[in-house]
Amino acid sequence: MSPAGKDWFNETLYPDVAQRFTVDRVIFRERTAHQDLVIFENKVLGRILALDGVIQTAEGDEFIYHEMLTHVPILAHGRAKRVLIVGGGDGGMAREAMKHPGVERVTMVEIDRGVVDLCATHIPSIGAAAFKNPKLDLVIADGAAFVKRCQDRFDVIIIDSTDPHGPGAVLFTREFYHDCKNCLTPGGILVTQNGVPFLQPDELRNTAERLTTLFADTAFYVGAVPSYYGGFMAFGWGCDSAAPRRTGVEEIAKRFAASGIDTRYYTPALHVGSFALPRFIEKLMAG
C-alpha cells in the first residue's frame, strides 16, 4: 500500500526501469499450470492481464497491438485464407483476423487453457466473441511442438507470444521460426511480437539474425502501445518475397476498403509508414 492509500501493480519485466499501475480492484488471481496470472482493474486502462509480473494486454489500448499484428500481414498478403496464431490466449488476435471476409479459417494454438478461460470470463470485451466464431479452431497445445508436426499450411502466421522467458522463450528460437516457415504456403508471411527495442535490443537483434537466415525478405515494423513501456513496439516480418511488404498505399487502401473492416488505430497509410524505422532499430537489425 502506498502512502497515498493506493495499491499498485509494479511490473517486473526490466531490472533497472519499471512502470506501475494503480490497482482499483483485483478481478482474479491464480497460479495456472504454466504461470502466475492476475487480472485487475485500472481507472485509465480498464481491465489488465499480467502473467508472471509482466503486462500482457489492457482493455484500453489492446486494439493497437492486435490490429497491427493482424491487418498488416493479412492485407499485405492480399489473398490470405488460412491464418495460424501461436499464443493469443486473450482472443484479441483471433477477433481481428476473423474480421477479414477472405479469411476462411483461423487456427489458434495456446499453451495455457487457463488464460483462454479466464480472459473469456473476466475480460470478455477483448476476445470472448472470437471463441464462439465458427471460423476459429482453438487448439490447446505447445505452439513449438504444434508447428513442428503440423501438416497444414497457412498464408499468414502470427506469433502472439509473451517475452522470451518462461513458456515464451522457445518461440524466439531459430528452430521454431524454421518450423513456422515450413507451415507457410508459397508467398506466406510470418509476423512476430518482438518487444520494445529501446529496452529489449537483444530480442530484436537476435530475431533479425535468425529470420534473415530463413527468409528472403526480413523486416520489422513498429506501433506505439502505451501499456508496453519504453517507446515503439517492434513486430518482426519474414517472407520469401519482398513484394507483399512493398505493396503501395493505394493498393493497400483498396484492399482495406473492400474488407469493410472498421479500425481504431490501423490505416493503410500507417501500414506502409510503419516499416520506416528509427535509425537505432536499423542498426540493431544490422547486428
CA 231 to chain centre: 16
State yes or no: is 160 an active-site residue.
yes
pLDDT of the chain along its 287 residues, tens only?
344 568 999 999 999 999 999 999 999 998 877 788 999 999 999 999 999 999 999 999 999 999 999 999 999 999 999 999 999 999 999 999 999 999 999 999 999 898 899 999 999 999 999 999 999 999 999 999 999 999 999 999 999 987 776 667 888 999 999 999 999 999 999 999 999 999 999 999 999 999 999 999 999 999 999 999 999 999 999 999 999 999 999 999 999 999 999 999 999 999 999 999 999 999 999 98
The top-level CATH class assigned to 8-58 is mainly beta
Alpha carbon distance 81, 59 (integer Å) = 28
**Residue extents of the structural domains in the chain:** 8-58, 62-285
For the domain made up of 62-285, the CATH class stated in words is alpha beta
* DSSP string across 154-212: EEEEEEE---SSGGGGGGGSHHHHHHHHHTEEEEEEEEEE---TTT-HHHHHHHHHHHH
pLDDT digits (tens, 9 = 90+) for 175-211: 999 999 999 999 999 999 999 999 999 999 999 999 9
Instruction: Spot the catalytic one: 160, 202, 217, 262.
Output: 160
Q: Are 129 and 56 in contact (CB under 8 A)?
A: no
